[in-house]
Amino acid sequence: MGITPFVPGTEAYEVLILPLFGNNYDICSLWMEDLNQHFITLIPNGLNDPNGYINFYCGGHMPQNGDSGVVPKNDVITLQTLDSTTPYRINFRARQDTYYYYTIDKDYTSDTCIVFLGSDHNSWEVEELGYGECKFLRDGPGQNADTSVSKSAVTNVAIKRVGKND
């Protein structure tokens, strides 16, 4: 499957992340891959550390990770894929000093919201929240928030440890 290169103005899937770990100092990372395991997370040009863009503090409530991480808006982190036609999987690491990473065992074909819960990198879980609710949290009332989406409960997602990243 070919990857459509990102062109300004091209529609893309949005992955919203709500980091709610109790420990603000653990650094998480999250990225999207197509079903053939090709990296398809949009990384903006001109960053000091493009590899660090997908990193964020697991507990949120901090401005960003260094000078290159995603800047949260109202504690919600927004990442995008390269287009809105390629199915994708979400991969993440709950602590940067480990080589192991995890994947959510689901193929996504729409915008989504992922919530990181737990006390620290040893005790965590990842849940899915309705995209509309996360978008409302990010954009706030009166900011063109998506109110057409019905309220949905937080739901469990199946997680599996994938392997090592060297």
Kind plus residue range of the DSSP H or E element containing 135: helix 131-139
Residue 135 lies in a domain: yes
pLDDT at 145 over 50: no
Confidence of residue 36 (pLDDT cuts 50, 70, 90): very high
103 in any annotated domain: yes
The pLDDT of residue 157: 66
Residue 21, domain extent: 14-164
All residues at 6 or more sequence positions from 87 whose CB lies less than 8 Å from its CB, including other chains: 34, 35, 107, 108, 109
The predicted-structure confidence for 2-30, as pLDDT tens digits, reads as follows 444 455 567 899 999 988 876 667 778 89
Whether the pTM exceeds 0.85: the reply is no
What's residue 1's pLDDT?
Answer: 37
Domain assignment present for 41: yes
Q: Does a structural domain hold residue 8?
A: no
Q: How many domains does the chain have?
A: 1
Is-contact 124 28, C-beta < 8 A?
A: no
CB-CB contact of 35 with 132 (8 Å): no
Q: How far apart are CA 58 and CA 116, in angstroms?
A: 7
In a domain, 108, yes or no: yes
3-state SS track over 66-107: CCCCCCCECCEEEEEECCCCCCEEEEEECCCCCCEEEEECCC
Q: How confident is residue 39, by pLDDT bands cut at 50, 70 and 90?
A: very high
Residue 144 lies in a domain: yes
Q: Is residue 5 part of a domain?
A: no
Q: Say how many C-beta atoms besides its own lie within 10 A of residue 162's C-beta.
A: 15
Better-predicted residue by pLDDT, 62 or 132: 132
Residue 96 lies in a domain: yes
Q: How far is Cα 14 from Cα 79, in angstroms, rounded to an integer? A: 6
Segment 81-120, tens digit of pLDDT:
999 999 999 998 877 677 778 899 899 999 999 998 887 7
